[in-house]
Amino acid sequence: MSPSAESTTQHATRLDFTTFRNVIDGKLTTTAGTRQSVNPATGEPNPPVPLSTRQDLDDAVAAARKAQRVWAKTSFEERRTKLQAYLDAFETYRDDFVKLLIKEQGKAYKLAHDEIDRTVAMIRATSKLELVEEIVEDDGKRSATLRYVPIGVTCGLVPWNYPLLLAWGKIAPAVYAGNSIIIKPSPDTPYGGLKLVELAMQFFPPGVIQVLSGGHDLGPMCTAHPGIDKISFTGSSATGRLVMESCSKTLKRVTLELGGNDAAIICEDVDIAETVPKVATLCFLNSGQICMAIKRVYVHESIYRRFLDALVAYSKTFKVGPGTEQDTFMGPVQNAAQYKKVQTYFDDIGKEGQKVALGGGVWDKSKGGAGGFFFNPTLIDNPPENSRLVRDEPFGPIVPLLQWANDDEVLARANDTNMGLGASVWSPDVARAERMARQLEAGNVWVNNHFELKAHVPYGGHKWSGIGTEWGLAGLKQWCNSQTVWLPSKKATASL
């Protein structure tokens, strides 16, 4: 382990949000090298964070293995108590984590509070789940009982768009199921993850929850490490394939929550005034950097022009700017690489002669935030179905609107993608909307809503949008191995 380590005892003084260190075996540790991300709203550097090495990972895995053997023997009630105690402490740091989210992720002020709320709900809902044993066979002679046992040492690879929620979306079920976990935050948003786990030191035994900050080489180290039994990854489909390939070499358990190209189908009978604000918000929330944001809007041809005009008018009301301004709706794209990627879709506007209904360029930096990664919210009017904007996931604030004429046609077009994370149908005729929704090839479908998530409700992706399930009881079971126990039947034993 690094020679620079500092123990933290229970009921320690409040966290210092100006320095950031790894947590290995119940100690705060530093590394010889450091790195730093930038504030995406200003371009200014954030504080230095550790640049973890293979030795740091080896140390964390060894500590996790030792701790997990003991932790697995604790009761669900004991784990629940610790999670709830952590939750109580976490809520006292709301303002600190909100400021951190704005600074490292670029979140709008209200959306940062929303991420805190969702994180709290995640921890609370997970701690209420019950993993019960089930007798699946009893013929009077032999009985078979299905139970769920911990996997062992697990690792969560966390993305940069929701760094707190998606960290605890992995931590809570992992430790509640009796595993230990190592969190590897995104190199672009390491700060919140480091502080989340530093706080956890006050409530969980050393080695149960650890965190390592590093560069882009740390993730592959984790997926290849023979001492890690499960990887849970949230990120792009391209990276997900690399994660799966690496994990296959040691037959790790793996859960992948990957990208989406979610379609929203707007039927001709919608109330335009009521529907437009919801759709606009779900297109541009978090600057479009949500895997289940609306990425394609299919509008029935009979209302297309009226709906488009109303969507443009409403989207013009969204304030773009830094999250430090509390009335900001849309902050920056999170990092330079993503900014460059999103820029290519804006470049296609001129190359392909696309018709811009709204926006179409970078944000006017004279309004403030010079140096940040800002775009205007942009709507493209009926681009070709084979355009990159329709086929790909920009993961930024640029959205196509497309016309459709009949149900079978639009369902075929919505399903004509490698992605299958989410989709929605909008109509006051709920029976018709449900019929359509049930034909959509996606893991999560909604009627008259989108991106509606609850911590106790499972979600997952079809096709290239993921493998496995997260959240809820089904998600909790993904952090377990199933075990079938065959015994002489109690009936048979009683007759002896």
Indicate which residues carry an active-site annotation. 257, 291
Phi, psi for 106 (deg, rounded to 5): 90, 15
DSSP 8-state assignment for residue 354: P
> Helix H segments across 20-75?
54-71
Burial 204-239 (b: 16+ CB within 10 A, else e): bbbbbbbbbbbeeebbebbbebebbbbbbbbbbbeb
Q: Which of 254, 262, 283, 278 is nearest to 444 (CA)?
A: 262
Cβ–Cβ < 8 Å for 14, 89:
no
Q: Edge-to-edge strand order for the sheet containing 5-7? A: 5-7, 27-29, 22-24, 209-211, 180-184, 153-157, 230-234, 253-257, 466-467
Residue whose tokens read 């009761």: 75
DSSP for 104-150, written as a single string: HT---HHHHHHHHHHHHHHHHHHTT-----EEEEE-SSEEEEEEEEE
How far is Cα 14 from Cα 285, in angstroms, rounded to an integer?
Answer: 32
Residue whose tokens read 């990887």: 231
Phi, psi for 461 (deg, rounded to 5): -115, 155
Contacts of 307 (CB under 8 A, 6+ apart): 266, 270, 272, 275, 276, 299, 401
Tokens of 435: 């019929």
How far is Cα 30 from Cα 198, in angstroms, rounded to an integer?
Answer: 13
Pairing assessment for the beta strands 142-150 and 134-138 based on DSSP bridges? antiparallel
DSSP 8-state assignment for residue 321: S
Q: Which of 392, 367, 93 is nearest to 237 (CA)?
A: 392
Residue whose tokens read 């080489």: 217
Contacts of 496 (CB under 8 A, 6+ apart): none
How far is Cα 398 from Cα 356, in angstroms, rounded to an integer?
Answer: 10
Intra-chain end-to-end CA distance of the chain, in Å: 57
